[in-house]
Every structure is written in C-alpha cells, then in structure tokens.
Structure 1
Amino acid sequence: MVSLDDSVIARLEKFGHKFEIRVDPDFAMQVKQGKNIELDKLLATNQVFKDVRAGDLASPEHITKVFGSTDMKIVAYKIIKDGEVQLTTEQRKQMQEKKRAEIISFISRNAMNPQTKTPPPPIRIENAMEQAKINIDAFKSSEEQVTQIVAALRPIIPISLEKIHFAIKVPTQYAGRASSIIHKFELKKEDWLNDGSLAAEFFLPAGMKQDLLNELNSITKGEVIVKIIE
C-alpha cells in the first residue's frame, strides 16, 4: 500500500454525498488516463471516507447507492476518474514538467521537418513551445495533446506529424529478418520476388529513421536498398 505521507486525497461529490480516498498521485493520474493500476500501488487504505481528515467513513448504503457496488476497485476508479485528485502546488508543477518532457520526446520521435524529412531536435521543440506559450495539461496523455501543440508550433518552426514513406529491397538471405523488422511499422505493401528477395513499402515516424536504417544495414551487411518516396 501507499504510505499516508506520500498520498493525496481524491474526492467525488455526487447525489449530495461526499466520498474521499487516499491515493498515490502518480498512479491516480495514470488511472485518469485509462490505465489499469493494482490497488496496492494506488491506495493508501482500503477505506472510503466522507471526510478523510476527520476519519469519518462513508456509509456502505451511500456507497452502494452512488456506485452500485462496494467493490473497492470499482469505487476507487470512479472517484478518481469522475472526481478531483487534490495535488499540492509542487506536485502539480512536477507532474507538468514530467508531462512536458514526455511530450517533447514524443514530438521528437514522431514529427519531422517537412522540408528536410528529419526529426526536430528536442531543444528546438522545447524552445518553440516556450515561445508559443504552450500550456501542458498534466492530467491528459501526451497523445491527446500533441496534435494541438504541433499546430501551435507550425508558425514558429517547420513541423509535421506526417510519416516518412520508405521503399526497400532486401536480398534473399536477409529478407526474413528484414520482414520482421518492417512489420513493426505501418506496412503499405510487401512483395516477395521470384528470386526470394523482398520489396516493401512502409511508413514510420521521422525520429525512428536513423535507428531503422542502422538496423537494416546491420542485418544486411549494408546490402539493403532504401528509397524515400516523396
């Protein structure tokens, strides 16, 4: 269980009743984002209160009326998802900084300069976000925020979430291993030629371009033919 000192209060008011539980702030945010977290990592106690600080427990009748169950996981998840997780100012700041770093990393891996087909460096993304005065929502996932953020960055830096369209041809002796690699990405077509070699087209984020080329060159000893399709 989470220690009381490290926990915060999650609260939900519904049908005139107040319900409070003590939760780990980081795992509570993950629950808000739809992740499944074990209760012993999420909760400081297995009790539902109407006032945590006073130690007043919520009645089982009220819990059943509002949540339709007394199952602790059902109740806790409902309180967290539909209610408010009370973070301190410092906790909110730390979570926003962590989310900002996640978003910068996500954009660097998945976006590209449409003119050069190269990923933007993280420091350039960070500076552009500061210039655009981007507000980060610590309670939303990176994926939910990226599209809007990239749109706000376009007047400042050339950036797009479009993926690079690759075409490759791999000699027979390396084709099987190459096929397993490209199947990790958005495959457009895969043709096995009469001589056993592989010709394929696929899309991948710009930030993964160099890692992919390194991997393909490694397994084919440099014999892979790669073309970027405009």
Structure 2
Amino acid sequence: MISLEDAVTARLESHGARFEVLVEPDAALAIKRGEFDGELEDVIAAEDVFENASRGDRPAENDLETVFETTDPMEIIPEVIKRGEIQITADQRREMQEQKRKQLITRIARNAVNPQMDDAPHPPERIERALEEAGFRIDPMEPVESQVDEALEDLRPVLPIRFDEVTIAAHLPAEYAGSAQAKIRQYGELEREEWQADGSWVGVVTFPAGLQNEFYELVNEQTSGEGETRIIKDEDDIKTR
C-alpha cells in the first residue's frame, strides 16, 4: 500500500455512474499502457472502489456488477485505470514534474559525455542548466525513458553531448585486490579479468561513460589511491589515466 499523499485518482464514468480508485502515478500509467508487472496491492492507497474518493463514498454494488461484472475491488481497480482517466491536482503535477526532472537529469548525466572535451562526463548541474536554457519541459504523465531522446534533441544546440559507454581497465594491488575487485566487477559489465602472479588483480569493465569520475573515485577509495586505471579505446589503443 502507498499513502494517500502519494496517490492520484483514476476515474471512470460509465452507465451513469462514477468509479474512482487511488493509485501511484507511475504505476497508473504503466497499467494504462499494459506495461505493469508488479503487485497491485503495492501501488494502491486502498483496496476499494469509490464513487467519490475524497469523501469516501462508494458506488452501489449493482452498478459495479453492471459495468465490471464483479464486485471484487482488485479486479475492478485495473479496469478503472485502463478505461478511465488519471486525475492529478496542480500540486501533484508539480511534484511529479520535479521528480521526473531529477530522474531525467540523473539518467542523462550517467550516460552522456562531452565529445568536445575528450568524452569527459557532464556534471548534473551542467545538464540541468542546459535543459533550462533549452526550454525543455518534462511531461509528468510520460515515463522518463520516453523523454530522453527528445531532451537530447533540445540539448544539442546548447550543449555538446553524446550518449556513450566507456571501457576501463583497473589494476588493483595485491593488498587491496581481494575486497576491492568484488566492487569493481559489479560496477558494469566485466569484460575480462586476470589475477597476476604477485596477487594483484586486473579487470576490464564497460559501463555508461557518464560514470567515469565515480568509477575513478571508487578505485581510489578501495585502494587508498594506489590503484591504476586505463581507458581502453580498442585492443591496440590504450590511454593511461
């Protein structure tokens, strides 16, 4: 269950009756698109169907039977969402818009680089300012994933940007290799690894290019600054950091 404060109202009017349910906004959109694969009870504020949710009024059972051929709320709730409209207040819209704005900035920062600065990552603050300069507006009713391409199109005139992945080799001294390699290998896709004769560890990891600085910080933290990293362009072209 979610709290009432986190829920929006989905409303269906049919056969002269009104039906309302309280549901988490993103889950409501996923259910409406047929993309929801979670547990319904985890994304609703009440296992109930209302005629007026704000007053707590319930519809007549014969109206439920007429429209849905059942009185079971857990069967009716998804139908109200799919067939009805999602109602949000101005405050809810602003809050959803702000949450998705932050999610969009994070997603772009994790994956984007500056092709004019040797593919260096863009800090989230820079992306935020560029989005404002470009006048991009987040749609609170659309998934963040579906808005990334449009945001990039708006960003390109004001910010050199490209989505990319980076492959980095990390060398961990023997003193730190045992514990550090477990965290390094989980950072992205481990392309290959090798334990050296001196007990040190070398691993090659591929991950979103925008996470480079975080990766370097992780290696430094895990090895007290004694680890080494190399950006691998291809098998023959290695750039030492």
TM-score w.r.t. structure 2 length?
0.74
Q: Which residue matches 1:131? A: 133
Note the 1:45-124 alignment, pairs <5 A: 46-49=48-51, 55-57=58-60, 59-65=63-69, 70-116=71-117, 117-124=119-126
1:227 deviates by 0.7
Quick check: 153-162 or 184-193, which moved more? Answer: 184-193
Name the amino acid aligned to 1:91: Q
Moved over 4 A (4+): 1-8, 16-19, 51-55
- Structure 2 CA distance, aligned partners of 1:169 and 1:23? 52
1:81 deviates by 4.6
1:10 deviates by 0.8
1:190-213 Cα offsets, whole Å, 9 max, x none, are 223344432221122344323322
Q: Which residue matches 2:176? A: 174
Alignment length, in residue pairs? 223
Name the amino acid aligned to 1:103: L
Q: Which residue matches 2:236? A: none
Residues 179 and 74 of structure 1: is their aligned pair in 2 closer, same or farther, counting only changes over 3 Å? Answer: farther
Q: Which residue matches 1:20? A: 19
Residues 97 and 217 of structure 1: is their aligned pair in 2 closer, same or farther, counting only changes over 3 Å? Answer: closer
CA contact under 8 A between 2:47 and 2:74: conserved in structure 1? no
3-state SS, counterpart of residue 231 of structure 2 = strand
Q: Which residue matches 2:195? A: 192
Residues 221 and 146 of structure 1: is their aligned pair in 2 closer, same or farther, counting only changes over 3 Å? Answer: same
Q: Which residue matches 1:223? A: 226
- Structure 2 CA distance, aligned partners of 1:126 and 1:132? 10
Residues 137 and 131 of structure 1: is their aligned pair in 2 closer, same or farther, counting only changes over 3 Å? Answer: same
- For structure 1, the 5+ residue unaligned runs are none
1:157 deviates by 0.7
- For structure 2, the 5+ residue unaligned runs are 31-35, 234-241
Name the amino acid aligned to 2:220: N
- Structure 2 CA distance, aligned partners of 1:161 and 1:131? 20
3-state SS, counterpart of residue 179 of structure 2 = helix
1:100 deviates by 1.3
1:7-40 Cα offsets, whole Å, 9 max, x none, are 65312367x686522415xx23334244746648
TM-score w.r.t. structure 1 length?
0.77
2:215 matched to 1:212? Answer: yes
3-state SS, counterpart of residue 142 of structure 2 = coil
Of all paired residues, the percent bearing the same amino acid is 35
